[in-house]
Amino acid sequence: MKKIFFLISALVLILGPLHAQEKLKTKSGTITFEASVPSFEEVKATHQNVSAILNTSNGEFAALALVKGFRFKVALMEEHFNENYMESSTYPKAVFKGIIADFDIEDLKDKPSKYTIKGSITLHGETRDLNEPVQIWKEEDKIVVTTNFKLNPEDFNIKIPAVVSKKIAEDVDVAAKFNLQN
Amino acid sequence: MKKKLALLIFAIVIIGGIIGYNYLYQDHREIATEEPIAELTSESILEIFRQEDSSEILNATVTVKGKISEINETSITLDDKVSGSFSEIPGDMAIGMEVEIKGRCIGYDDLFELVKMDQCTILNN
């Protein structure tokens, strides 16, 4: 009897971590950023094909957006964004890699809980640390991760010419949402 | 004479305004009606990104043939090698179907190790 019990607990110990090492992912996360200045043309773009993977066993999170996938309302703005600012032919990707602090999938609720994500973001060939709050909750078979934060283009060596600098906000508001599932 | 000059200036301003407006608010590319620069398969497009220089097909309209390996709300994946996003996924798509899609190639996704396309449409098989 004791042996069986031992065997079962051994199996649980071995298989448990394997099961927990699940990766949840999406290929269609969204990122929206806005750098509008009141009374000027709206500077806003949305990307609906952002890839992201969450390792639920340790809270590791990675997201990747192909810069050319950001869509603007104004075509010329999209062109300038790609060619002059992000130089998306040379730097095609924007990548985040990090870890959600104190993440435990068992703690998640149907309502958003606050966590902190720590990691680094790379875009336009420059890498900067990112340490921002995120909201995470369960929704049916999905885990939803959302975040809002500000980025400063200058930190990434993106130069905004003086002529248009009045029309583009200094801090860019970034919002992201990922519906992660198996 | 003065009247004529005023009229001329007025006309120049209007025409300049129209040209300027059309430049600033030019239409987006229409991928669905653009002529594709290459006809590829899921295998060959991935190969381009793995080995060759991809600058020619980046941001260009291409067609890709393959078998559907995944469908989600906004995108279809072919053979786990290419993922294309649609504004609306046609209702009759199913996993395992052979299709040809047309779209704009936006780059290589290291996370999933596949090529991504957007503004896709399904070509008639």
The residues spanned by each domain of chain A are 22-180
Q: Are B106 and A68 inside 8 Å of each other by CB?
A: yes
- pLDDT value of residue A4: 66
Partner residue opposite B118 with nearest CB, options A25, A49, A78: A49
* Range from A44-58, A159-173, B38-52 that averages highest in pLDDT: A44-58
The verdict on pTM exceeding 0.90 is: no
Q: Are A64 and B111 inside 8 Å of each other by CB?
A: yes
B31-123 architecture in CATH? Beta Barrel (2.40)
What DSSP designation does B20 have?
H
Partner residue opposite B75 with nearest CB, options A49, A66, A74: A49
**Cβ proximity of B106 and B29 under 8 Å:** no
Contacts of A28 in chain B (CB under 8 A): 72-75, 85
Residue B31 corresponds to which tokens in the numbers above?
């991928």
Domain boundaries, chain B: 31-123
- What does the pLDDT average to over B105-111? 93
Residue in A148, A147, A139 with CA at minimum distance from that of residue A179: A139
Contacts of B74 in chain A (CB under 8 A): 28, 48-49
Alpha-carbon gap, residue A105 to A127, rounded angstroms = 29
Mean pLDDT across chain B, nearest whole number? 91
Was domain A22-180 assigned CATH 3.40.50.1100? no
More confident residue, A155 or A8: A155
Q: Which among A31, A49, A79 is the top mutation candidate for probing chain B, defined by the most B β-carbons within 10 Å of its own β-carbon?
A: A49
